[in-house]
Structure 1
C-alpha cells in the first residue's frame, strides 16, 4: 500500500476514466487480509525455493503509481491482479522455473492424508490415477493448524473449447478412469465437480497462462495463444481438492454417508434425510459435469455423451452406471468419428473456416 499524497485524488480520478469499477483501495494498492497472509510468508517461501509475484513482495510499490505511469489503465499492469481465491497463490519454483500453485489447508481435515495417499509414488504409477501431482508439503513455522501443499499450475479442464469428438472422449475417459481408481481404493471424492477438474495445459498453452487471468498468457495482453487438444494429444486431466473427500476402510461394503457438501448439491439423495451412497453421488456429480460440457455444442455426433450423462444423473442412484460400466459405454463408441469437428451453434461459417483451415483459435 502506498501512503496518500497530494495528487492522489487527481490520479484516482484519471484511473476512474479508464475503469469506473476501480475502488480507491485497489487503486492505492491496499491488499486483502488473505493477500497479507502470503506477503507475511514471502521470505519463508523464498527460502524454501518458491518465488511469489511482485505484488506479494514485502517492499512492493504498485507499478501504476509510479510518476511516469499515472493515468494509465490499472489493469495494463500485471501486479494489479489480485488472487482469485483466498488460500491459494501462484509461485515460481526457483530451481527449474516451473509454475506452481500453493494451497493452505487445515490440518484438522483429511485433505492432506488423502491427497498424500492418492499421490504416493506407488499409486501414481497406475495410469488410471488422475490425481494432480503433489510436489511438496511445507510445514508452517510456529503453526501446526495449517500446512501448505504445492501442486503444478493446472488449467481448468474446460477453459478452452473442445474442437473434435475425440477430445471430449479423451477428457471423459480419463476422468472416469480417475473416479474408478479412487472408488477401487474406497475413496469418495464427494466433490467431483466442475471446478475440481483440471488439465495439464503445458502442450495446449505452451506459452503458459496467468493464474489470476486464465484466459491470458501473461495476465495483461488480450491475445491468448493456444493449440487444439487434438493436435497435441494426449492431454492429461486431473482431479484436485480433496477437502471433503473420505477414505473408507478397505473392504468396507455398502458405504453410507450423511454429509451434503460440495459445488453440486442437486443429487436427489441430497434432499432425502436418510444416508446415501457417496460413490453413486460422485457418479451423479461427474455426470452433471459431462452434460454441462456438451450443452453449448451442436448435438450432432455427441449423442453418446448425452446418453451417458443422463444415465449418470439418473434420479435413482441404483440406475446409475458405475465408473467401470460408464467406461465400457464410452469404449463402445465408433472411434472413426473422433476426428469429426464439433461446433458451438453461434459460430459463423467464416469463423468455422478460420478455425479449420487458418489456424485461428479463439475462445468461442
Structure 2
C-alpha cells in the first residue's frame, strides 16, 4: 500500500485554468471562436473579444478595474446588435446542448402569440434565436439588456407592491399554461431599465458607466418610470400536460434558492407548482421583510407560501387573489413611505426621510401613482 503523498508535490493545473490573471477564460474562448460569424449576423462583441485586443491593464493590476478586464464565467455574453444602423445592447445566451432545446422551446412558446399579448405574461422579450452554423445542436437566445429587479434599490412600499403584483401574475400566467418555472429566484427576475439612466451602464458590470468614467447613477425612480419586471432563465422549466393535475409531481431540481424544504435531503417527486410558490414567498421574506421595516402586512401570505408542507401552500390563483386584498388595504401614506433598511442608523435616517418626502410631494403634485404599475 502506498503511503500519503509527499509534502510539497505540485499538483498539475488543468490547461484551461493555467492562464494569466485577466486573460480570456475557457468560457470566453467559444465567443471569440464565433466572433466573425456573430459579426455577419449583426452582433458586435466588446473590445475584449476582438482579434486585435491588447489588454489595457498591466501584469499585477486587478483586471476588473478595467473595462476590457471584465470577464464572464457563464454561457452568457453581452453584445451590440446593429440593425439598419440602429444599435441596441443585447444579451446572448448559449443554452447547454442537452437541455437547451427544451429551454428554447419554452421561451419561444411564452413569447409567441397569443401568449405574448397577455399583459400578465412577464417573460423577458426574445428578440430572435440564432442557429450556430458549426454546431447544429446549439442555438443562441437573443434578449434585450435588462437589470436585476432590485438594482437600484426600491424606495417606497408602493414600488415594492408594484413589483409583487407583476411577479405574482407572471408565475400565475405560467402555471395557467401548465409551465412551472422551477427557478424563479433572485437572479432570474429582471427589470426593464429603459429611460432610468441618462448615461448608459456597462452591460457586464452594471454599477459602472458604459464609458467607464465613473459609477452609473439612475436619473429617474421607479415611481417616475413605472418599470416592467421580467422572468428569465427557463433552463429548469417544465411543461406539464393537463393529465398531470393541479400538483404536477417531478423529481426535485435545485435552482438558486437551496432552502426548499422538499429538496433538502430528499429524492422523492414533489409538486413543481408548489415549489414556485415557495420561491416567491421566500424571495419576499428574505429580500424585503428581513431587510426592511414595515412589511408586516405581507406576513400572513408569505408564511403560507413558505409552509414546510407543500400541500398547505396556496396555489398561485389564491396568492394573486389574497394579494389583491392586501394591496387594496395599504393606505396612501404607507404606499408613499420610504422603505427603511433594518440596518440603517437613525442619525442618517432622519435626513434621508426629509429628502424622500420632499421628492414625494412633487410626485403627489404631478399625480404620479403611488403604485407605479406599467
Q: Where on the TM-score scale, by shorter chain, does this alignment land: which range?
A: 0.7 to 0.9
The 5 A counterparts of 1:200-349 are 200-218=192-210, 220-226=212-218, 227-233=220-226, 235-250=227-242, 252-253=244-245, 254-271=247-264, 272-295=266-289, 297-300=291-294, 302-332=295-325, 333=327, 334-335=329-330, 336=332, 337-345=334-342, 346=344, 348=348, 349=350
The answer to whether the 8 Å contact 1:169/1:330 transfers is no
How far is 1:279 from its partner?
Answer: 0.2
CA distance in 2, matches of 1:223, 1:265: 32
Residue deviations 1:183-214, cap 9 Å, x none? 01110111111111111111333433222212
Q: What does residue 106 of structure 1 align with?
A: 96
Cα distance, 1:241 vs. partner? 0.5
1:77 aligns with 2:66: yes
Distance (whole Å) between structure 2 residues aligned to residue 206 and residue 243 of structure 1? 33
The one of 26, 37, 40 equivalent to 1:33 is 26
For 1:353, the equivalent position in structure 2 comes to 354
Partners of 1:311 and 1:243 in 2: how far apart? Answer: 27
On the 8 A contact 1:75/1:220 being kept in 2, the answer is no
* Mapping for residues 118-137 of structure 1, pairs under 5 Å: 118-137=110-129
Q: Cα offset for 1:354? A: 4.1
- CA gap of 1:222–1:329, structure 2 versus 1, over 3 A, is farther
Separation in structure 2 between the aligned mates of residue 74 and residue 123 of structure 1, nearest angstrom: 43
Deviation at 1:224, TM superposition (A): 2.5
Partner of 2:363: none
Judged with a 3 Å threshold, the aligned counterparts in structure 2 of structure 1 residues 259 and 219 are, in CA distance, closer, same or farther, namely farther
Aligned to 2:184: 192
CA displacement at 1:326 relative to structure 2: 1.4
Q: Is the 8 A contact 2:103 2:235 kept in 1?
A: yes
- In the other structure, the counterpart of 1:64 is 57
TM-score normalised by length of structure 1: 0.83
CA contact (8 A) 2:252 2:267 kept: no
- The normalised TM-score by structure 2 is 0.81
The separation in 2 between residues aligned to 1:237 and 1:352, in whole angstroms, is: 27
Compared with structure 1, are the counterparts of its residues 169 and 358 closer, same or farther at alpha carbon in structure 2 (3 Å cutoff)? closer
Cα distance change of structure 1 residues 299 and 60 upon mapping to structure 2, 3 Å threshold:
same
- Secondary structure, counterpart of 2:32 in structure 1: helix
Structure 1 unaligned spans of 5+: 1-22, 360-364
Where 2:124 maps in the other structure, the secondary structure is: coil
CA distance in 2, matches of 1:298, 1:278: 30
Output one character per residue of 1:110-142: Cα deviation in whole Å (capped at 9) or x when no partner: 111111111113211000100001111111112
Cα 1:103–1:354 change in 2 (3 A) is same
1:88 paired residue number: 76
SS at match of 2:184: coil
Task: Tell me how far apart the structure 2 counterparts of residues 142 and 273 of structure 1 sit (CA, whole Å).
Answer: 38
Tell me: CA distance 1:42–1:24, structure 2 relative to 1, closer, same or farther (3 Å). closer
